[in-house]
Amino acid sequence: MDYLCALIGYKMTLQENLTKHVKEAIHKLYGGNLPAVEFQATRKEFEGDITIVVFPMLRVVKGNPVQIGTQLGEYLVAQVAEITAFNVVKGFLNLVIADSYYTQFFETVATDANFGNAPHEGNAVMVEFSSPNTNKPLHLGHIRNILLGYAVAKISEAAGSKVYKTQIINDRGIHICKSMLAWKKYGNAETPESTGLKGDKLVGNYYVKFDQEYKKEIASLIEAGKTEEEAKKEASSLLEAQEMLRKWEAGDDEVVGLWKTMNQWVYDGFEVTYKNLGVDFDSLYYESNTYLLGKDNIDEGLAKGVFFKKEDGSVWCDLTDEGLDEKLVLRSDGTAVYITQDIGTAIQRVKDHPDVGGMIYTVGNEQDYHFKVLFLILKKLGYEWAENLFHLSYGMVDLPSGKMKSREGTVVDADDLIQEMAQTAGTISEELGKLEGYSETEKQALYKTIGLGALKYYILKVDPQKRILFNPEESVDFQGNTGPFIQYTYARIQSILRKAKELGVKPTTQRADLHPKEKELLKLLQEYPDTVQLAAAKKSPALIANYTYELVKAFNSFYQQVPILGTASDDEKAFRVALSEQVGKVIKKGFGLLGIEVPERM
């Protein structure tokens, strides 16, 4: 917050100044000592720029809130240069701030390339996202995870944290062996090169093939008199997959060789999808390397009394005092459970990156309990950074047709969706007829920018914890709270700036009297740094998305009601061009934090 005070000192200093004077007024006028002053934005239907809430003062001062507000307003107009007028509505004191306050703010930030970004201070934060299995391609569910994690990483960085983006790739286990076994049986040695398929799609096809054959076996066994439970356990394909997993764990050369080959196909496929989505990582972890981690930490916890052993030799953590239950951390045969490796992996990450002081795990809300347990155990083990662990829990993504199921092959493939979004954007753009003078290459690049922007914005504008019903066509609408609407407004601003340059207009931040629409935009611009900080604190890209939409709505209202290049006044023209330019910069910054590009022309 210290940085924000220095950067937009006007806003923070004004509130601090008002707080000081309000406290003085309460003491002088009523003899009371006010502990704090509550501020909020003035409602649009009332005149004013900032509102002081009078009701909480009634704990200290007895009287009519309207009368108290009126006396306070008169005192502030007399004492604070920035306050020019006031009005009182019930228990709310609405203050009008001088235009000079806003033009002074504008003059400061218009030339500040880092407006909204805080310098890196304190410990780094590690953000984990994506973390897919290597038995299938990335799908729509992964996309929400990836976009959320990447945006939170970008926002955290802008808010002043050094950030490491990471993922743990689940490249071992029975699900991997199912794909491997199906490929051995039915693959005829085909490869991504021989089929022309991305490697992750090829491997995913064999995961689906395994499930199809497994279900046939179960049906045959049930027909032969087995119960469904018996059939599921005795099906030969499952037994073969389990045997393959045992061989992998034993280091069998043939199985490990096939595992490496097929996993590499998937890694290569993932990389193409990540590149198309415009995301990257600073480090990668693989479960095949981390699944044995954590056992030493269990011994450490036993010595500290954090864990206890039961008679059968299994190790547990008692979390009943925290309102949870007892949690198994090591089986009686000494083998690890899932949380064991999560404990070890978290500790290993801090060893690998000693400046990490906290971690953000982007994982669906079905794992809420798991992360509560993990974080409590790490705190009990005494790691200071465990106080700064956060589960970025999010709801699932549904389609109008219902839930997606990977093993049945009913998922929406990420690559197909990206392509479909670009095609939809192209169709709508062609219908609007705004692409005169574009080459075919330029058109295709623009379609991808619009399509990806639509997809990302549609997902990120929703609070992470809410479930999403994804509608591709709705997301590409050029009107309303959509990515293309915001991108189009940015492109409109760039068109204004190009015309202004042709006309020789020299932008200026100087303005004597502000039009209400100009003032509205400046007030919104002033909120940007605080919005970045709040979005980082709440781990919510939706705050950035919806702030950007509000800014765009205000600009379009300004554009429609106030002449920019058409005004007869050169001073107005120069100021409005400068204001448009700054709005464009903040739109680009805000969308940049969401991983969304903005086109210069559209």
| Sequence-separated (6 or more) residues with CB below 8 Å from residue 502 | none
| Co-location of 438 and 575 in the same domain | yes
Mark whether 435 and 544 lie in a shared domain.
yes
Specify if 532 maps to a domain. yes
Q: Is residue 192 included in any domain, yes or no?
A: yes
pLDDT tier at 12 (50, 70, 90 boundaries)?
Answer: low
Is the pLDDT confidence value at 412 over 90? no
Span 87-101, mean pLDDT? 96
pLDDT tier, 421 (very low <50, low <70, confident <90, very high otherwise):
very high
The answer to whether residues 85 and 70 touch, using CB atoms and an 8 Å cutoff, is no
| Segments forming the whole domain that contains residue 458 | 414-593
Q: At a CB cut-off of 8 Å and minimum separation 6, what does 38 contact? A: 52, 53, 56
Same domain flag for 80 and 195: no
pLDDT of residue 410: 55
| CATH at residue 33 | 3.30.1360.70
The SS3 of residue 281 is: coil
- What's residue 401's pLDDT? 63
- Is residue 431 domain-shared with residue 580, that is, in the same domain? yes
What number of CA atoms fall less than 13 Å from residue 102's CA on the CB side? Answer: 26
CA distance linking residue 171 with residue 495, whole number of Å: 49
| Structural domain includes residue 378 | no
For residue 486, give both structure tokens: 């915001």
* 1 CB-side CA count, 13 A: 6
Total domain count for the chain?
3
**Final residue of a structural domain among 278, 301, 321:** 278
Q: What is the pLDDT of residue 433?
A: 74
Q: Is residue 29 part of a domain?
A: yes
Q: Is the pLDDT of residue 257 over 90?
A: yes
182 lies in the same domain as 83: no
Looking at residue 509, its amino acid is T
For the record, the structure tokens of 313 come out as 């030799």
- 516 in the same domain as 418: yes
With bands split at pLDDT 50, 70 and 90, how would you rate the model's confidence at 497?
A: very high
β-sheet bridge partners, residue 284? 167
pLDDT at 141: 87
Q: Sorting pLDDT into bands at 50, 70 and 90, what band is 9?
A: very low
pLDDT at residue 436 in the model: 79
- Looking at 62, 97, 132, which one is the last position of a domain? 97
Say whether both 59 and 205 belong to one domain.
Answer: no
Residues 432 and 547 in one domain: yes
Farthest CA pair distance, the chain: 94
Q: Per-residue confidence at 263, pLDDT binned at 50, 70, 90?
A: very high
Chain-centroid distance, C-alpha 14 = 31
217 and 178 in contact (C-beta within 8 Å)?
A: no
What is the pLDDT confidence band of residue 477, given thresholds at 50, 70 and 90? confident
pLDDT at 1 over 70: no
Do 440 and 562 sit in the same domain of this protein?
yes
d(CA 1, CA 91): 29
CATH number at residue 479: 1.10.730.10
Q: Report residue 106: phi and psi, to 5°.
A: -60, -40
The percentage of the chain sitting over the pLDDT mark of 70, rounded to a whole number, equals 96
How many Å apart are CA 58 and CA 24, to the nearest integer?
16
Beta-carbon count within 10 A of 350 CB: 18
Asked if the structure places residue 481 within a domain, the reply is yes
- Residue-wise pLDDT for 219-235, tens only, equals 999 999 999 999 999 99
Q: Average pLDDT, whole number, for the chain?
A: 93
Are 83 and 182 within one domain? no
- DSSP-assigned letters across all residues of 4-30: HHHHTHHHHHHHHHHHHHHHHHHHHHH
Do 93 and 191 belong to one domain? no
pTM: 0.91
> Are 80 and 206 part of one and the same domain?
no
Look at 13-17, 168-172, 240-244 and tell me which has the smallest mean pLDDT: 13-17
Residue entry with tokens 């009990």: 380
Residue 449 lies in a domain: yes
Q: Is 164 contained in some domain?
A: no
Spatial distance between the Cα atoms of 376 and 390, rounded to a whole number of angstroms: 12
406 found inside a domain: no
- Of the three residues 251, 278, 305, the one that is the final residue of a domain is 278
